[in-house]
Amino acid sequence: MKVLLVHQNFPGQFRHVAPGLVARGHEVAVITDAGNRAKFPYLAARYGHAPLDKARIVAAGAPLAAHHAQMVGRGEAAARVAAKLRDERGYRPDVIFAHPGWGETLFLPAVWPGVPILSYAEFYYAATGLDSDFDPEFQARSHQRAIRALAMRGHIAQAMLDSAAAVAPTRFQASTFPASIRHLIEVIHDGIDTGRLRPDPAASFTVPGGGPTFRHGDELLTFVNREIEPYRGAHIFLRALPEVLRARPGAHAVIVGGDSVSYGAPPAGGGCWREVLLAEVGDRLDLARVHFVGKLPYPDFCRLLQASRVHAYLTYPFVLSWSLLEAMSMGAAVIGSRTPPVEEVIEDGVNGRLVDFFDVPAWSAALTSALADPGALAPLRAAARRTVEERYALKDCLPRILDLVERTARAG
């Protein structure tokens, strides 16, 4: 069977799917952005895509069209390289498995009519009730903000309507899609490699650049964002941290994340969120015990979480981060935000602790208490590991996804 995987930053969510399909004897091909320099052993078509001049679109009086125009442009570019595969190589997939979030699948039905598409249903934006109006500090409720949220989903809706089936990694993420198309979606997580990501009492982590070394059992608090930003609660965590470090004079915090923006908007006054938040709370922090380490190589990230005594995870009502489940798989004691994506995974007092997202004093108290009594965390750590083994293990999730790919091909 020929399977075409489409993702602008391949492998992305297909990092286990692609080799899993090959292991089952299927032929894998890839469509991805020309800017993606990753190397992989599959037939690959890379499309060139020049970003549109959003300023010109805004000046023309159609600012809401900018996002959709960008997605349409990317879809057209993907269709061009798809047609080249078809015309020059005679290539026709039996099934297309794609992430529709960047518009790449919009015109593939015109290239290969009748080929079924399986879509990765990651998230569907809404005017209210999800991420776009969750945080009043940075997201003042407004008619214009609601319209912008709706404008971000047109290409996803079209992609889903052209799909034969879809898969979402969590029940919460599936629930964001309209009821009229939710029947297409099966909930199967991408899978966590619990064999590799396991507790290690011998783990240690050294802060890059000659910083201190922390070992399992040390009073280490960890916090991970892809980029340090409000969507993942960086503002709440950093505001809670001064009181934690005051109460626990032996504790250190290691903060992982870059200085760009993955979700939401950059600070209104310029700069990055780390700088803005440190300007707010830095004079109350013992910065000798706060270590911003940027983005870490994956093995170092794993060693950090294996050494962590307490791990804080916050998110808006949005996509659940892999890092939460990876931390739980490695036996982390997680204090999480009481928001729907996290509540699907963590039960308060059973496999972690939950705190209201916005309650800074409660965060300080919960983190301080957890750091102070590591013995009390042992049952939560063990239960966190069991949760991932029982519900999110790669060895169970991957075969289900591969089965879905094969079923979608046969149904087409």
Same domain, 323 and 226: yes
Contact predicate 325/237, CB 8 Å: no
pLDDT at 50: 76
Contact predicate 71/155, CB 8 Å: yes
pLDDT at 236: 98
State the DSSP string of 273-326.
HHHHHHHHHGGGS-GGGEEEEES--HHHHHHHHHH-SEEEE---SSPPPHHHHH
Whether 175 maps to a domain, the answer reads: yes
Whether 199 maps to a domain, the answer reads: no
Same domain, 241 and 353: yes
Same domain, 213 and 179: no
Same domain, 186 and 228: no
Token pair of 292 as six digits: 């911003």
Q: How far is CA 102 from the centre of its chain?
A: 15
State the DSSP string of 210-279.
T--EEETTS-EEEEEEEE-SGGGTHHHHHHHHHHHHHH-TT-EEEEEEESS-SSS---TTSS-HHHHHHH
pLDDT at 56: 61
pLDDT at 273: 95
Parent domain of 18? 2-191+394-411
pLDDT at 65: 79
Contact predicate 315/339, CB 8 Å: yes
Number of domains in the chain: 2
Contact predicate 91/29, CB 8 Å: yes
Same domain, 209 and 111: no
* pTM for the full predicted model: 0.94
Same domain, 15 and 155: yes
- Dihedral of CA 327/355/381/255: which sign? positive
Same domain, 273 and 216: yes
Q: Which amino acid is at 295?
A: K
Token pair of 293 as six digits: 């380490």
Beta bridge partners of 96: 4, 117
Nearest of 352, 122, 139, 359 to residue 230 by alpha carbon? 139
CA separation, residue 349 to residues 162, 369, 386 (Å): 43, 13, 14
- Digitized pLDDT (tens) for each residue of the chain, 412 residues in all: 999 999 999 999 999 999 999 999 999 999 999 999 999 999 999 999 877 666 665 555 567 778 888 899 999 999 999 999 999 999 999 999 999 999 999 999 999 999 999 999 999 999 999 999 999 998 766 677 888 888 889 999 999 999 999 999 999 999 999 999 999 999 999 999 999 999 999 999 999 999 999 999 999 999 999 999 999 999 999 999 999 999 999 999 999 999 999 888 889 888 999 999 999 998 999 999 999 999 999 999 999 999 999 999 999 999 999 999 999 999 999 999 999 999 999 999 999 999 999 999 999 999 999 999 999 999 999 999 999 999 999 999 999 999 999 999 998 7
Beta bridge partners of 46: 32
Same domain, 271 and 342: yes
Same domain, 317 and 338: yes
C-alpha–C-alpha distance, residues 78 and 314, integer Å: 35
- Half-sphere exposure for 265 (CA within 13 Å, toward CB): 13
**CATH number, position 360:** 3.40.50.2000
Same domain, 240 and 140: no
pLDDT at 53: 64
Q: Which amino acid is at 325?
A: L
C-alpha–C-alpha distance, residues 99 and 280, integer Å: 38
pLDDT at 49: 82
3-class DSSP assignment, residue 27: strand
Same domain, 80 and 217: no
Whether 198 maps to a domain, the answer reads: no
Same domain, 297 and 333: yes
